Structure 1
Amino acid sequence: MAVSLTLHDLNLAALAPEILLMLGICVFLVIEAVTGRTRPMPADRLALATLVLPLGAVLWQYGHGQQYAFGTMYIADELAYLLKLCGIICTASIIVYSRRYAAEHSIRQSDLYVLALFSLLGQMVMISGGNLLVLYLGLELMSLSLYAAIGLRRDWMKGSEAAMKYFVLGALASGFLLYGMSMVYGATGSLGIADIVNRVYSGMASQQVLAFGVVFLVAGLAFKLGAVPFHMWVPDVYQGAPTAATLLVAAGPKLGAFALLFRLLGEATIELAPIWQQMLVILAVLSLAIGNIVAVAQSNLKRMLAYSTISQVGFVLLGVVGVYAGEGFPPSDQAFGAGMFYMISYVLTTLGTFGMIQLIAREGFEAEEISDFAGLARRSPVLAFIMAVMMFSLAGIPPLIGFYAKLAVLKSVVAAGYTWLAVYAVMMSLIGAFYYIRVVKVMFFDKPADEAPLPVDGQARALMMANGAAVLLLGIMPGSLMALCIAAVRSAWNLG
């Protein structure tokens, strides 16, 4: 199959953020190799400077509408702009939060930051993928960076074990995805999302082969999101990895995984929504149950947050479930918009929770047990209040962003006719509220082992306060972000 692209088809302006980020990473590596410890500026500032031009490019693109590169292999639309913007902010926050933690826990900062930047590059490629192979390349670039980041503390056996588990199971999940993509190609004769949509809609695709392909796609996506029964890696990796690497795995990649979910299910196979919708219902039900119930029994905070992640992913899948309301109803942009809003709110709250663990941790002290937060309100009332805001948001208590995110998802589920599923989700959320509130109780009512004031890096403290303020303000005034999410989905679907 011959493919010819004109200079206009290449349209490298659509790839400006990715090109600038790649060039910035190359400059970062050259400076690191040439100057070593005598570099002109600290590694964290150099990494943050690397993000400035890609951020400017995304903001510039936002006002120039939808663009394509390499034909339609690469898509730059409002959905891509919004998720890339969130991804860049997320990576910058991770760099600031992890600066002192990495220095005190034998992690080479420049290695951690360059892996974070490569992970962001993979996310951005995945977010804009308009071709199945481009999506897969972005996924692998992101995943390989995460495997290496988890194992950065080579003298720490738990981290090496977590990296190996993630690598082996990640390779299995990638195989599922690649096999599903190959079946979609076999059924439609194309790897381009636009061509796949047209051929499925026109009845030119083999429905049986396509249905089998969708099963493998959903299995691979469920692993990347951490949904039950493909969740086995989440608790072990979250607990075993250094907290800086845990935050790297828990935050930004979820944005890329949602983009992958949207491109594969919300665009390429949207005509098969009646098939994959039923699979997502099962995944959501299991994730909400296992995630919330098992989290209650955890004493390790990182492991508890891992099971919390599984339950939160269940809510994201509920949002996607609401996209199809039966024969004769068009796909709901409100449902995917609610799922996207929920994922952004989850990432924002995750930055705060794992960032807080890093702020409290010290050399030789990981601060990953719930008991390690005992009496935090006496040592640092501001940090205790912010952590309480994060816990209440994850529990879905108003007026925080987590409450509105859950409400928006439940509305879309009820609108699709799944009232029983909404009731079930509320019941599971009540179970989840217990273990979140337990952390707040420990911080405010338990006696601390050490009552000395808690020294915290000034920039990290300021960022943490901004993080907490965002969780509160976006809960009180969520309309703008929700409108951006719905507009992004409508833009991707070319609904105007």
Structure 2
Amino acid sequence: MDFEMPQFALALPEIWLLGAACTVLVVDLFAPGQRRGATFALTQLALLSTAALAVATQWGVEGTTFGGHYVADAMGALLKAAVTLLTALALAYSRPYLEQRGLLKGEYYLLALFATLGMLVIASGGSLLALYLGLELLSLPLYALVAMDRDSRRGAEAAMKYFILGSLASGILLYGLSMVYGGAASLELAAVAEAAAAEEAPLLLLFGMTFMLVGVAFKLGAAPFHAWVPDVYQGSPTPVTLFISTAPKVAAVALFMRLLVDGLGPMHASLQPMLVLLTVASLLIGNLVAIVQTNLKRMLAYSAIAHAGFILLGLATGTDAGQAAALFYTVTYGIMAAGGFGLITVLSRAGVEAEEIADYGGLNERHPLFAGVLLLLMISMAGIPGTVGFYAKYLVIKAAVEAQMLPMALFAVVMAVIGAFYYLRVLKAAYFDRPGEAAGASAAPLTPGASAPIRALLLVNGAAVLVLGIFPERLISACQAALGL
């Protein structure tokens, strides 16, 4: 058998990020001071340059290397750019918060970089093996990040739950991968797709697809595989929650697109009923349970479950338009979630956590600019016209109607209306309640604990939700072009 030399240039983003992570590790060992300025700067430079490399080297390219285990295409380029930019945004918000609490360590940046590398591998995974390795490279650093505050009992409990449930989901996914490998007799997704398109597709492929969907749904935080989401979101340090709620969601959609579209796309008719069940469960549980939450991080956790339902609805259509809508929804949700948790980090300071909804009472009187950002983020998540959240929901529902899934489209509209209630409840506290008036409010008023540049970044993040809502065409076109539309 002849050995074919891999085309290393195709995998330049991953190679570059791995080298950058090793450089950051060495620099952090010798960098003076506790503020980790050099480590932070190098990490941000590595992420931004990786995003540029991904777009420059892989947009418009169709190629495979490493024996079919690696795929370079426009979809991978878009996913990698989204993942790296969202990670850079999350790390920018995190620094002041961690520094005030004595948690700013080089390990935080290294774990984030290696988790990002895992997401990049998933985005270009061309085989079952590559996708599983990328998923594990993503998951292991996340477990450590959740437990990074060793003095927090709540954080340790959240990390244990995340690790145990994540290991279970990983095992189920691996079991499904082994079934698919047995049915297709190959690890490459192209060969799996050929086996799935056969007139009499092996029954093992159907069983494997079911188990693989469980693993993907867990990473996406979809019901009924959502048990980890509220506890991990609330128990983790807010910067870690911010990171988990943004880039890994994009990686979960990338995993779905590679495994269940590129690999088992010909069997979508069998997959669709399961996706519909996950969609209904996620929309119901996410929206209804979020209504009764008083902790903002926990409310946003159940909100994330509901948003996962909309993403799954787009994927359930099985159409190119539905997949593009799901991709657009995931990227824009990452921007909104980054702003939401970023606001919590900015308004928190040493000894005061801006976690309870009651803490935001009278925010408009004390910090009208931040109240404005909160307004934009909440109405966008609710799907109010004029914001990017509205376009995300509109595209998914439109794709569902075009795919003859009218009952599901109507159900999604009803759930979106119900979901608007708990977002408006937060705005009611910020604009109509008096400071410290509500039960459960912190005795200390919320005061921005971040530097001026980070507060400016938050304002830009909030403005982006509005600008993308008014001019969404470029991002929509990019998502469609990534899928060859």
TM-score, normalisation: structure 2: 0.95
Contact 2:10 2:65 in 1 (8 A): yes
Q: What SS is found at the alignment partner of 2:384?
A: coil
Q: Would the aligned equivalents of 2:28 and 2:36 in 1 still touch at CA under 8 Å?
A: no
Task: Confirm or deny that 1:479 pairs with 2:479.
Answer: no
1:159 corresponds to: 155
Q: CA deviation at 1:58?
A: 1.5
Q: Is the alpha carbon distance of 1:274 and 1:384 closer, same or farther for their aligned partners in structure 2, counting shifts above 3 Å?
A: same
Measure, in 1, the Cα distance between the counterparts of 2:40 and 2:365.
Answer: 31
Instruction: Name the SS of the counterpart of 2:64 in structure 1.
Output: strand
Residue 326 of structure 1 corresponds to: none
Amino acid corresponding to residue 143 of structure 2 in structure 1? Y
2:104 corresponds in structure 1 to: 108
- 1:385 shift after superposition: 0.5
Q: 1:397: which partner in 2?
A: 384
Q: Does 1:249 align with 2:244?
A: yes
Match of 2:316 in 1: 321
In the TM superposition, what are the counterparts of 1:196-235 in structure 2 within 5 Å?
196-203=192-199, 205-206=201-202, 208-235=203-230
Tell me if structure 2 keeps the 8 A contact 1:396–1:403: yes
Q: Do the aligned partners of residues 64 and 419 (structure 1) sit closer, same or farther apart at CA in structure 2, a change above 3 Å counting?
A: closer
**Residue ranges of structure 2 left out of the alignment (5+ in a row):** 437-443
Q: Within 5 A, what are the aligned runs for 1:257-296?
A: 257-296=252-291
1:75 aligned counterpart, secondary structure? strand
Aligned to 1:374: 361
Give the SS at the match of 1:65: coil
Q: What residue is the counterpart of 1:32 in the other structure?
A: 28
Query: Displacement of 1:366 after TM fit?
Result: 1.4
Q: Distance in 1 between matches of 2:475 and 2:294?
A: 35
| 1:434-484 deviation digits (Å, cap 9, x = unpaired) | 000111111111112466864541221221122112111111111221111
Q: Corresponding residue for 1:91?
A: 87
Q: Which moved more, 1:447-456 or 1:69-78?
A: 447-456
Look up the SS of the partner of 1:368 in the other structure: coil
Match of 2:402 in 1: 415
Aligned to 2:463: 469
The aligned counterpart of 2:441 is none
Equivalent-residue separation in structure 2 for 1:484 and 1:226 (angstroms): 25
Matching of residue 439 in structure 1 with residue 426 in structure 2: yes
CA distance in 2, matches of 1:233, 1:106: 26
Write the deviation string for residues 245-267 of structure 1: whole angstroms up to 9, x where unpaired: 11111110001000001111111
User: Following the alignment from structure 2 to structure 1, what is the Cα–Cα distance between the partners of residues 309 and 37?
Assistant: 43
Query: Is the contact between residue 62 and residue 78 of structure 1 (CA under 8 Å) also seen in structure 2?
Result: yes
Q: Do the aligned partners of residues 52 and 291 (structure 1) sit closer, same or farther apart at CA in structure 2, a change above 3 Å counting? A: closer
List aligned pairs for 1:63-142, cutoff 5 A: 63=59, 65-142=61-138
Deviation of 1:200 (Å):
2.1
Structure 2 residue aligned with 1:328: none
1:29-63 Cα shifts (integer Å, max 9, x gaps): 11112335389944322321222431331132145
Root-mean-square deviation over aligned CA pairs = 1.7
Pick from 42, 45, 66: which aligns with 1:46?
42
Contact 2:250 2:330 (C-alpha < 8 Å) held by counterparts? yes
Corresponding position of 1:179: 175
Return closer, same or farther for 1:22/1:197 CA change in 2, 3 Å cut-off: same
Distance 2:84 2:168 in 1: 28
Q: Is the 8 A contact 2:48 2:85 kept in 1?
A: no
3-state SS of paired residue (1:438): helix
> For the residues of structure 1 that align with 2:180 and 2:89, how far apart are their CA atoms?
38
Instruction: Give the 3-state SS of the residue equivalent to 1:68 in structure 2.
Output: strand
Equivalent residues of 1:28, 1:46 under 8 A apart: yes
**Using the alignment, how far apart are the partners of 2:406 and 2:363 within structure 1?**
41
Gaps of 5+ in 1: 324-331, 491-495
Q: Aligned partners of 1:417 and 1:77: how far apart in 2?
A: 30
Which one of 1, 4, 7 corresponds to residue 6 of structure 1? Answer: 4
Structure-2 separation of matches of 1:389 and 1:176: 39
**Which letter maps to 2:62?**
Q
Deviation at 1:106, TM superposition (A): 2.7
Q: Is the 8 A contact 1:174 1:220 kept in 2?
A: yes
1:458 aligns with 2:445: no
Mapped contact 2:359–2:446 kept (Cα < 8 A): no
Once the two structures are superposed, what CA deviation does each residue of 1:2-33 show, in whole Å capped at 9, x if it has no partner?
7x5412xx111111111111111101111112
Counterpart Cα distance in 1 of 2:143 and 2:32: 24
Q: How far, CA to CA, are the matches of 2:341 and 2:223 in structure 1?
A: 22
CA distance in 2, matches of 1:99, 1:40: 9
| 1:355 and 2:378 aligned | no
Change (3 A) 1:179 1:427: same
Q: 1:152 to 1:455 in 2, by over 3 A?
A: closer
Distance 1:334 1:151, change over 3 A: same
Show CA shifts across 1:315-351 (max 9, x none). 000001111xxxxxxxx21110001011111111000
Amino acid corresponding to residue 429 of structure 2 in structure 1:
V
Query: Conserved in 2, the CA contact under 8 Å of 1:396 and 1:404?
Result: yes
Q: Deviations over 1:104-126 (max 9, x none)?
A: 12313322111111111110001
- CA distance in 1 between counterparts of 2:84 and 2:292 reads 35
* Shift in CA distance, 179/250, structure 1 to aligned 2, threshold 3 Å: same
Identity %: 44
Residues 160-192 of structure 1, C-alpha deviations (whole Å, 9 max, x = no match): 110110000000000111000100011110110
- Which AA in structure 2 matches 1:212? F
Of residues 328, 339, 351 in structure 1, which corresponds to 2:326? 339
Name the aligned partner's letter for residue 171 of structure 1: S
Q: Deviations over 1:390-433 (max 9, x none)?
A: 11011000110010110100011111111111111111111100
| Cα pair 1:32 1:39 within 8 Å, conserved | no
Alpha carbons 1:247, 1:351 under 8 Å: kept: yes
Q: Which amino acid aligns with 1:259?
A: A
The question of whether the paired residues in 2 share the 8 Å contact of 1:115 and 1:146 is answered with yes
Number of positions where the alignment pairs a residue of Structure 1 with one of Structure 2: 478
Task: Give 3-state SS (helix, strand or coil) of 2:131's partner.
Answer: helix
